[in-house]
Amino acid sequence: MVRVDKELDARRILCPLPVIRAQDAIAGMQAGERLRVVATDPGVKNDIPAWCRINGHRVESIIEENDEITITIEVDGLGTAPSSQH
């Protein structure tokens, strides 16, 4: 099983709150650490990966089981959108 550094319980709350709480959790984490989000709102399957793409984090897995969605995110470390410098 993959090492997880922090877990966020986002069960029984609706989007955008799971994304906001994931953002807050990741703000205190280091590059390479992993956050596991457990949620019940099916919107997280799209919202969290979209937020991760914008902010440079990587979704390692999305697992659905027993009406729960578990998303594991690898933290980029920057916590900001990739720069568009040329």
How many domains in the chain?
Answer: 1
Q: What percent of the chain is modeled with pLDDT above 70?
A: 87
Angstrom distance (rounded) from CA 64 to CA 36: 13
Confidence at residue 80, expressed as pLDDT on a 0 to 100 scale: 44
Q: How many CB atoms lie within 10 A of CB 31?
A: 12
Confidence at residue 77, expressed as pLDDT on a 0 to 100 scale: 59
Confidence at residue 1, expressed as pLDDT on a 0 to 100 scale: 62
pLDDT digits (tens, 9 = 90+) for 21-45: 999 999 999 999 999 999 999 999 9
Angstrom distance (rounded) from CA 67 to CA 85: 42
Q: Is residue 86 part of a domain?
A: no
Angstrom distance (rounded) from CA 10 to CA 27: 17
- Low-confidence residues of the chain: pLDDT under 50: 79-86
Range of the domain at 49: 6-74
Q: Is residue 10 part of a domain?
A: yes
Q: Is residue 82 part of a domain?
A: no
Confidence at residue 78, expressed as pLDDT on a 0 to 100 scale: 57
The catalytic residues are 15
Adjacent-strand bridge partners of 6: 35
Q: Is residue 54 part of a domain?
A: yes
Confidence at residue 84, expressed as pLDDT on a 0 to 100 scale: 37
Q: Is residue 85 part of a domain?
A: no
Q: What is the CATH number of the domain that holds 32?
A: 3.30.110.40
Q: Is residue 79 part of a domain?
A: no
Helix ranges, 1-86 (H): 17-27, 44-55
